Amino acid sequence: MSPPSDDDFRTHSPTAPIDDTPTVSCSRCGEEWDLSYELDELQLGNQSVEQFALDHRRHTGHFPDDVSPWVVSCRQCPDGEQFLSEASAHRWARTHARHTRHEVSMDHADDDGVVITPE
Please report, as ranges, the residues that interact with Zn ion according to CB under 5 A. 26, 28-29, 60, 74, 76-77, 79, 100, 102
User: Any residues with CB less than 8 A from the CB of 34 and at least 6 apart, and which?
Assistant: 21, 22, 23
Residue whose CB is less far from Zn ion, 28 or 91: 28
Q: Which is nearer to Zn ion, 18 or 73 (CB)?
A: 73
Cα dihedral value 36, 89, 69, 55, nearest 10: -30
- Least separation in angstroms between CB 69 and Zn ion: 13
Of 18 and 103, CB closest to Zn ion: 103
What minimum distance in Å lies between the beta carbon of 109 and Zn ion? 17
Residues 32, 65: contact at Cβ < 8 Å?
no
Q: Are 51 and 70 contacting, i.e. CB atoms less than 8 angstroms apart?
A: no
Nearest distance, CB of residue 76 and Zn ion, angstroms: 5
